[in-house]
Amino acid sequence: MSTDTADPGAALAGTGPSSDLGGHAGQQSSPGKVQGEAQSKEEYAYKQDYRFWSIIIALCTMQILCSLENTVVVTSLPTIVHQLGLGSSYIWVTNIFFLATSVVQPLTGQLAGLFGRRHVALFVVALYTLGSGLCGGANGPAMLIAGRAVQGAGSGGMTAIMGIVISDLVPLRLRSAYQAILAMTYAIGMAIGPVVGGAIVQNTTWRWVFYINLPVGGVSLSLLWLFLRVKWDKETKTWDKLKRIDYAGNFLLITATVSVLIALTWAGSVYPWSSYHILAPFIIGLAGLVGFFCPRRICMGAGACNTAALIININRPLRLFSNRTSAIIYANTFIVSMLNYWIFFFLPLYFQAVQLSTPTRSGVQILPITLIAVPGAAVGAVALAKWGRYKAFHIIGFACLAAGIGSFAILDKASSTAAWVCLQILPSVGAGMVLDTLLPAFQAGVEEVDSAAAAASWSFVRSFGNIWGVAIPGAVLNIYSSRYASELIADTTARVSLQNGDAYSSGTRDFVTSFSEPMQSQIIEVFTRALSKVFLIGITFPAIAFLLSFIEREVKLRKTLETEFGLEETGKATQNVNV
Looking at residue 1, its amino acid is M
Tell me: the pLDDT tens digits for 512-571?
A: 888 888 888 888 999 999 999 999 999 999 999 999 999 888 877 666 555 554 455 544
Tell me: the pLDDT tens digits for 293-333?
A: 665 444 444 333 433 343 433 334 455 566 777 788 888 99
What dihedral angle (degrees, nearest 10) is formed by the CA atoms of 416, 422, 427, 431? 130
Tell me: the pLDDT tens digits for 242-292?
A: 777 777 777 887 888 888 878 877 776 677 777 888 889 889 988 887 777
Alpha helix (H) residue ranges in 137-171: 141-169
pLDDT at position 294 is 63
* CA–CA separation, 513 and 510 (whole Å): 5
Alpha-carbon distances, residue 262 vs 92, 118, 269, 271 (angstroms): 9, 34, 12, 11
Tell me: the pLDDT tens digits for 178-203?
A: 777 777 777 677 667 666 766 776 67
Residue 14, pLDDT > 60, answer no
Mean residue pLDDT of the chain comes to 74
pLDDT at position 548 is 94
Residue 39 three-state SS: strand
* pLDDT cut 90: percent of the chain above it: 16
Pairing of strands 305-307, 297-299: antiparallel
Residue 427 three-state SS: helix
pLDDT at position 405 is 94
Which domains, and CATH codes, for the chain?
50-487+530-549 (1.20.1250.20)
* Stretch among 64-68, 233-237, 422-426 having the lowest mean pLDDT: 233-237
Residue 351 confidence class, pLDDT cut points 50, 70, 90: very high
pTM of the model: 0.71
